[in-house]
């Protein structure tokens, strides 16, 4: 991930690095010039002072330019990571998307992408500090080769100690990153389970103490342990530097070293301490970025995309067939794997089909197989005799418009702008008696703060505006009052059928089954006979005679 980002921002990245290195070189030059000023007199000191002024200005310019370039690079990297993850999410197979889960994806888009961005924030400081330390060592070598070797030995010893302690710290930081993913899942429960927890004080307290609290504490403790170990490693390195300074100054004083050498050493050691500390303290941020990049790569690798994007929408079809399709998945209720199928089914234009069955029988799974969100593990799906595969599955999905029970309502209408969305949409809103609650303005809903039933009506409007040849409704009427159920079954569905749409309705409203061309029943992943369909249809028809038929133009109660 980091390599990809650097490659995408190659010119900006290397320009920023160049200015950071120049800033480090200017800092070393300032120290050497200060040493010369201290140990010179007369015109020589004046020339060194002029040189100092010039180098100071250059140092300021290089530092400012480096910081600006890296700020731009940080923003670009942050946006690039988010776009990359979002692109993989949008392109991924839906089944793989479900397997990865919301928490990991949200964590990648927020926490982990931020850590990668912070890598670019800290990089100029690391580079400048590294140049200062290396330059300082080279200046020490010019002053005294034996002391240079001693300094190298101290740094090597400190680096080895830092490395071994650092490995332990990394394990804690990885634990913190893993717990962070779980914590995002608990954050979703914090909002999604708000009603349930307010109705049960014991559950609320248990969630706060034993689930959310433990996860927050787990992230905190792992990070504190990891960072504490880094601090210990940094302190070890600082101790070795101070020990080396003390030994070096003691030896130089004992040997009667020249004043120029002693002041040079003193200035260098004082000068090298801050960049050395910056170098050591910023290494954890770089490791955070490496760990976060690994998490993002892991998420992206799980978001498999074996399909080609659709170039056009299918306007019509003659025959859609599912032949012996089978799909297997883990069923949480039974703590076992559930197998759907083999199922054989076909659909034609202008057909209204109902699907019934108990909870967990496989109705929604069949619907997802039908619309191409799931890929059959066995069997085949054909459209007008053409096999649906990875080459054309995305194009096949454009055949459908669906309102699932767990639908999502976008703020903006993202449909094709070939129609006036505002006028057509507001006409449909009035038809569904929502005009006093919400309007469509500039291609978006003015409000989504509505009841579940009202939001489903808006989702139905979106489905109308998509104008696809095949519509699927998964328990759409479950949250509607009786009057709107009647409008849905007696007016909306027949109206769509007259337009030649194929309609597949998952429903438990048996009083309306007589309106369907076919009623299918799902039991334990299998399609079964619907208890003598002709007799049932006749009984439903008799019951339907007593149902009042409401006009679409008549004002309805909410």
Q: Flag whether pLDDT at 271 surpasses 50.
A: yes
Return the pLDDT at 478. 85
Q: Flag whether pLDDT at 234 surpasses 60.
A: yes
- Structure confidence by residue, pLDDT tens digits, 99-153: 777 777 877 877 778 777 777 766 767 777 777 778 777 877 877 787 778 777 7
3-state percent helix, strand, coil for the chain, nearest multiple of 5: 65, 10, 25
Band of residue 309 on the pLDDT scale cut at 50, 70, 90: low
Contact of 320 with 387, CB cutoff 8 Å: no
CA dist., res. 242 & res. 557, Å (int)? 82
Higher-pLDDT residue of 227, 541: 227
CA dist., res. 34 & res. 325, Å (int)? 81
**Domain locations in the chain as residue ranges:** 2-302, 320-407+467-544
Return the pLDDT at 17. 79
Q: Flag whether pLDDT at 477 surpasses 80.
A: yes
- Structure confidence by residue, pLDDT tens digits, 345-359: 999 999 999 999 888
Q: Is 159 helix (H, G, I), strand (E, B) or coil?
A: helix
Band of residue 263 on the pLDDT scale cut at 50, 70, 90: low
Under 8 Å CB-to-CB from 282, ≥6 apart: which residues? 122, 125, 126, 129
Tell me how far CA of residue 443 lies from CA of 315, 407, 424, 429, 449, in angstroms.
23, 19, 11, 14, 17
Higher-pLDDT residue of 269, 61: 61
Tell me how far CA of residue 361 lies from CA of 121, 276, 333, 346, 364, in angstroms.
53, 64, 11, 20, 9
Band of residue 196 on the pLDDT scale cut at 50, 70, 90: low
Higher-pLDDT residue of 79, 313: 79
- Range of 266-270, 285-289, 337-341, 366-370 with top mean pLDDT: 366-370
Q: Flag whether pLDDT at 541 surpasses 90.
A: no
Under 8 Å CB-to-CB from 236, ≥6 apart: which residues? 158, 161, 162, 165
Return the pLDDT at 198. 67
Go through 22-38 and write b for each residue having 16 or more CB atoms within 10 A of its CB, e for each that does not: bbbbbbbbbbbbbbbbe
Q: Flag whether pLDDT at 533 surpasses 70.
A: no
320-407+467-544 is classed in which CATH architecture?
Answer: 3-Layer(aba) Sandwich (3.40)
Return the pLDDT at 319. 94
Band of residue 499 on the pLDDT scale cut at 50, 70, 90: very high
Average pLDDT over residues 382-396: 90
Q: Closest Cα to residue 488, out of 542, 433, 534?
A: 433
Under 8 Å CB-to-CB from 113, ≥6 apart: which residues? 78, 81, 82, 85, 292, 296
CATH of 2-302, one of 1.20.1560.10, 1.10.630.10, 3.40.190.10, 3.20.20.70: 1.20.1560.10
Range scoring the smallest mean pLDDT among 9-18, 409-418, 422-431:
409-418
Band of residue 246 on the pLDDT scale cut at 50, 70, 90: confident
DSSP 8-state class, residue 110: I
Q: Flag whether pLDDT at 535 surpasses 70.
A: no
Return the pLDDT at 213. 84
Place of tokens 């949480």: 332
Average pLDDT over residues 427-439: 84
CA dist., res. 557 & res. 547, Å (int)? 17
Contact of 128 with 23, CB cutoff 8 Å: yes
Per-residue H/E/C for 457-500: HHHHHHHHHHCCCEEEEECHHHHCCHHHHHHHHHHHHHHHHHCC
Return the pLDDT at 230. 72
Residue percentage of the chain with pLDDT more than 90: 14
Range scoring the smallest mean pLDDT among 85-99, 382-396, 476-490, 544-558:
544-558
Rounded mean pLDDT of the chain?
Answer: 78
Return the pLDDT at 353. 94
Band of residue 312 on the pLDDT scale cut at 50, 70, 90: low
pTM: 0.63
Q: DSSP letter string over 377-420?
A: SEEEEEETTEEP-TTTHHHHHTTEEEE-TT----SB--S-TTS-
């Amino acid at each position: 991930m980091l390599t990809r980002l650097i490659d995408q921002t190659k010119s900006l990245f290397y320009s920023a690095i160049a200015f950071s290195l120049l800033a480090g070189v200017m800092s070393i030059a300032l120290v050497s010039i200060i040493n010369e000023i201290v140990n010179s007199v007369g015109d020589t000191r004046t020339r060194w002072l002029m040189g100092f002024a010039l180098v100071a200005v250059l140092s300021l310019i290089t530092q400012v330019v480096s910081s600006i370039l890296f700020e731009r690079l940080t923003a670009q990297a942050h946006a690039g990571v988010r776009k990359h993850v979002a692109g993989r999410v949008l392109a991924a197979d839906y089944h793989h998307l479900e397997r990865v889960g919301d928490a990991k994806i949200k964590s990648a888009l927020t926490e982990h992408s931020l850590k990668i961005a912070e890598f670019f924030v800290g990089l100029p400081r690391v580079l400048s500090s590294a140049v200062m330390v290396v330059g300082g060592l080279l200046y020490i070598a010019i002053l005294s080769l034996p002391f240079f070797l001693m300094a190298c030995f101290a740094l090597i010893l400190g680096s080895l100690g830092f490395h071994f302690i650092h490995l332990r710290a990394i394990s804690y930081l990885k634990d913190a990153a893993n717990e962070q993913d779980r914590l995002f899942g608990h954050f979703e429960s914090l909002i999604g389970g708000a009603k349930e927890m307010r109705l049960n004080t014991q559950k609320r307290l248990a969630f706060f103490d034993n689930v959310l609290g433990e996860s927050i504490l787990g992230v905190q403790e792992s990070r504190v342990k990891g960072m504490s170990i880094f601090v210990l490693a940094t302190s070890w390195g600082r101790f070795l530097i101070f020990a080396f300074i003390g030994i070096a100054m003691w030896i130089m004083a004992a040997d009667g070293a020249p004043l120029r050498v002693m002041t040079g050493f003193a200035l260098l050691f004082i000068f090298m301490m801050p960049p050395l500390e910056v170098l050591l303290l910023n290494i954890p941020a770089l490791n955070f970025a490496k760990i976060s990049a690994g998490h993002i790569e892991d998420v992206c690798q799980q978001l498999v995309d074996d399909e080609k994007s659709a170039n056009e929408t299918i306007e019509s079809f003659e025959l859609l067939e599912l032949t012996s399709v089978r799909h297997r998945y883990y069923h949480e209720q039974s703590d076992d794997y559930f197998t759907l199928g083999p199922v054989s089914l076909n659909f034609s234009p202008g057909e209204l089909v109902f699907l019934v069955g108990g909870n967990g029988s496989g109705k929604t799974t069949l619907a997802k197989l039908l619309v191409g969100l799931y890929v059959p593990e066995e069997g085949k799906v054909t459209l007008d005799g053409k096999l649906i595969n990875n080459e054309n599955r995305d194009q096949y999905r454009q055949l459908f418009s669906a309102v699932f029970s767990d639908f999502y309502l976008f703020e903006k209408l993202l449909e094709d702008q070939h129609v006036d969305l505002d006028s057509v949409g507001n006409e449909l809103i009035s038809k569904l008696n929502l005009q006093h609650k919400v309007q469509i303005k500039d291609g978006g809903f003015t409000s989504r703060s509505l009841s579940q039933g009202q939001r489903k009506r808006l989702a139905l409007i979106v489905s109308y505006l998509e104008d696809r040849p095949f519509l699927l409704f998964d328990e759409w009427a479950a949250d509607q009052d009786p009057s709107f159920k009647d409008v849905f079954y007696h007016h909306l569905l027949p109206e769509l059928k007259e337009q030649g749409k194929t309609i597949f309705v998952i429903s438990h409203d048996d009083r309306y089954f007589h309106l369907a061309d076919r009623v299918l029943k799902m039991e334990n992943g299998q399609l079964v006979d619907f208890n003598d369909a002709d007799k049932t249809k006749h009984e439903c028809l008799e019951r339907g005679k007593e149902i009042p038929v409401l006009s679409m133009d008549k004002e309805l109660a909410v």
